[in-house]
Amino acid sequence: MKPLCPRTDFPPLDGGVPHVPDLVYLDSAATSLTPRPVIDAVRSYYETSSANIHRGKHMLSDLASEAYEECRFAVADFLRVRHSEVVLTRNTTHGLNILANGLPLTPEDRVLVAADNHHSALLPWQRRCVTERIGTGDDPQASYAAYRAALTAGPPPRAVVLSHCSNVTGIYLDVAPWVAAAREVGALVILDAAQTAPHRELDPVGLGVDAVVFSAHKMLGPTGIGVLWAGTELLESLTPTEIGGGTVDWVDDDGFRWRAVPHRLEAGTPDVAAAYGFTAALQYLRRTGMRRIREHDHEVAGLMVDEARKRDLSFLGDRNSSAERAATLSLFWPGMSGARMDVLARALSDSYGVMCRSGYLCSQPLVTRHAEGPVLRLSGYVYTGADDVTRAFAALDELAAAGMAS
């Protein structure tokens, strides 16, 4: 299995990192590498415009404003939604906070939160209202039955917050039945698609969810920009938690008039350069083809699982072996402390040039419950080939022989 995209498109894989000529990058679920066209697009903002948006009437400001709105159109195209329903956020976490803090919720309201959610899809809700965790894990049928029971176990929940793909196990949730059940009790469905948007086609309207959030930096784009999509009615029902320049049409000494959505939810100067890069990233993904990316993921994930099984290594989501997974695998060694896991990740990095993540992956309740300690996550993407996976496991073999991975 070869990388789907040329490694030469990604500077760190093309000799860009001093002293690491043949780097293995397996931390894509945290942040993906950035291809040259995206880097060029970010640079072009500073070289050809570098102005603020939607404020000035001069040519450079017009150019930047147009490019910024072009990014909104590119996202709308990617999701097959209306551009006026795309809020450009800073990242997934920001989008989730806009929702949790903007919805008219009371501290007594119930919100169901999936057990495999990232902290960003838990904490904003936990702070605002009564949250109850719902399993989406190892036994899909039992999880779904428990979810249905939770929906009617008290006052109807106001929202259900789901992870489309777990950043820990890489396993996708079959969202449709979960949405249908939420509809029966009138709950909103909010989908964290941070790990899906990079890996396969995303169709929020087709899925029937009310809102979707994700980040550009996990899908070949720059840091500093993300997406919140929701229908117009829902966006209009949100109380903006930030207010200032860009959010209002008119201000006098006594008050102000909000701008229309999505602008009223985008306070202050955004990361304009990132919008240039995000448009280029979406073009790159389109050229590569989301279907091919999904197939490639499947191969990478299959190889990772095979290599882990060959060695009898424990990994999260093992029991759910028939489920589709993104190219993400979290290994663990029962009883290994956080400090030893960090040493292992450091040794992989510094002695073998293999970059992967260790710890609780911002999903501490889930990781603690199932691994009883930290994990080591390998996560690939379009630039990952079989060599990367086999090199990572060969390095682990050597570290195991040295007593460091056991």
Residues engaged in binding ligand PMP (CB under 6 A): 29-30, 91-93, 118, 120-121, 163, 167, 192, 194-195, 215, 362
Nearest to ligand PMP of 342, 398 (CB atom): 342
Q: What is the DSSP letter of 404?
A: S
Do residues 224 and 103 make contact, with C-beta atoms less than 8 angstroms apart?
A: no
Residue 5: active-site member: no
N- to C-terminal Cα separation, the chain:
29
Least separation in angstroms between residue 170's CB and ligand PMP is 10
Report the chain's C-alpha Rg in angstroms.
22
Least separation in angstroms between residue 118's CB and ligand PMP is 3
Nearest to 329 by CA among 378, 366, 372, 294: 378
Nearest to ligand PMP of 34, 215 (CB atom): 215
Nearest to ligand PMP of 24, 366 (CB atom): 366
Nearest to ligand PMP of 32, 163 (CB atom): 163
Least separation in angstroms between residue 351's CB and ligand PMP is 26
Nearest to ligand PMP of 188, 216 (CB atom): 216
Least separation in angstroms between residue 218's CB and ligand PMP is 7
Total H helices, total E strands in the chain: 13, 15
* DSSP code string of 80-147: TS-GGGEEEESSHHHHHHHHHHHS---TT-EEEEETT--GGGTHHHHHHSEEEEE--SS-HHHHHHHH
Do residues 197 and 211 make contact, with C-beta atoms less than 8 angstroms apart?
A: no
Least separation in angstroms between residue 362's CB and ligand PMP is 6
Least separation in angstroms between residue 326's CB and ligand PMP is 10
Cα gap 197→219, rounded to integer Å: 7
Nearest to ligand PMP of 98, 261 (CB atom): 98
Do residues 120 and 362 make contact, with C-beta atoms less than 8 angstroms apart?
A: yes
Cα gap 374→357, rounded to integer Å: 10
Least separation in angstroms between residue 175's CB and ligand PMP is 14
Q: Could you give the dihedral angle defined by the CA atoms of residues 26, 27, 28 and 33, in that order, rounded to the nearest 10 degrees?
A: -90
Nearest to ligand PMP of 94, 391 (CB atom): 94
Query: Which stretches does DSSP call E strand in 121-247?
Result: 130-134, 159-163, 188-192, 211-215, 226-230
Cα gap 314→396, rounded to integer Å: 13
Cα gap 222→401, rounded to integer Å: 39
Nearest to 87 by CA among 198, 297, 231, 222: 231
Q: Looking at the annotation, which residues are catalytic?
A: 362
